[in-house]
Amino acid sequence: MTGLITPERGSLVLRSSGRVPVSGRFHVRTVLVCAALLLATAAVTFAALLLGAVVHTPAEVVRALAGDAPPSVELFVVQWRLPRALAAVVFGALLGVAGALFQSITRNPLGSPDIIGFTAGSSAGGVAVLAFVGSSYLLVAAGALTGGLVVAAIVLLLSRGGGVAGFRLVIVGIGLSAMLTSLETWVVLTADIEQAQIAALWGAGSLNAVSFGYTGPAMVIGLVALIVTGVLLDRRLTLLELGEDVSASLGSDPGRTRLAAVLAGVVLVAVVTAAAGPISFVALAAPHVGRRLAGATGVCLAPAACTGALMLASADLAAQHAIPGHSFPVGVATVAVGGLYLVTLLIRENRKGAL
């Protein structure tokens, strides 16, 4: 494989001269930003393995990860802290990409799954299953996926007059989110007390109960879905950004691309919601921050994924250790910070006249 850097375009072109020719173009700044974000995420993840009721040294953590530590250290680091730290990274990446997908197909900075109702749909489906059926991962995952798909169908149906990229979609999504929040409250109030407590804690968005046994399948499924989404949709969404006529002339069906992006986004949100509950505002903020850092326009799935991973990992670390002696669900931290970001975004876009 040969590589060529094009200084005037600031991009890296890779070409393979093997049996199957492979080529690709990568923006240098995007690659560097993603690398920096991944390094920062690794540092935050390592800090999460160090800190806790029992603080371990970096050497102890490294030995535990290598399988050469005392059983007590391995218990804290590998069995208790590592699943939560990895889940925060993986789930943050999934939410970041889901937000980028919806913002791309709606062409609206508020077009994240949190705002247009898909997260609320997944949450309502998961809460209903937890309250009335059971708490196994497969059941909750099925409920979250069903809820997300049903709400996606309703939102798209009700917003047809304004188009998928129209402001009507955001308005319909906000209205459905409010209705589903009320529905969740009713479900919790009418369910058995024990199931209601489980559903209420899950509905806050928490990584407290994360373990490889419970969330391991979610992380694997999420990573596979993330890779498939990037491979199949990145180029198609880039073409769609150029306009429907250009996209169609280059062999891409705009309607199928939007449908595939909606389905992929709902699956990514449902995977996270089923394992950790609704974690809000990561999907809204991560694509914006990633795009600004990369200095790019259009679809930026890789920066969104890396930014989402760093944001959720940092939020969970803060939720555990920001207030000594107290920890709270990570969803509380993301809502507190994300609410301020949403207000800032609304003010900025209102000044531009984009909304």
* In the chain, where the domains are located: 31-352
Give the containing element (helix H, strand E) for 156: helix 137-158
Dihedral sign of CA atoms 201, 202, 203, 206 in order: positive
What homologous superfamily does CATH list for 31-352? Answer: ABC transporter involved in vitamin B12 uptake, BtuC (1.10.3470.10)
Q: Which two tokens stand for residue 187?
A: 């479900």
Axis crossing angle, helix 254-276 with helix 212-241, rounded to the nearest 10 = 160
pLDDT at res. 36? 95
Strands in 97-156 per DSSP E: none
pTM of the prediction? 0.85
List of residues 6+ apart from 135 with CB closer than 8 A: 195, 198
Do 92 and 282 contact (CB within 8 A), yes or no?
A: yes
Diameter of the chain by CA atoms?
65
pLDDT at res. 13? 56
Distance from C-alpha of 278 to C-alpha of 326, rounded to nearest angstrom? 21
Which alpha helices (DSSP H) does 107-136 contain, by range?
118-132
pLDDT at res. 11? 56
pLDDT < 70 regions, the chain: 1-26, 159-167, 242-248, 250-251, 298, 349-355
pLDDT at res. 121? 85
pLDDT at res. 339? 73
Radius of gyration of the chain (CA): 21
- Span 198-233, pLDDT tens digits: 777 777 788 887 888 777 888 898 999 999 998 888
pLDDT at res. 4? 46
Sheet architecture: strand order including 22-27: 2-6, 11-16, 22-27
- Span 256-300, pLDDT tens digits: 888 888 889 888 988 888 888 888 889 888 898 888 888 777 678
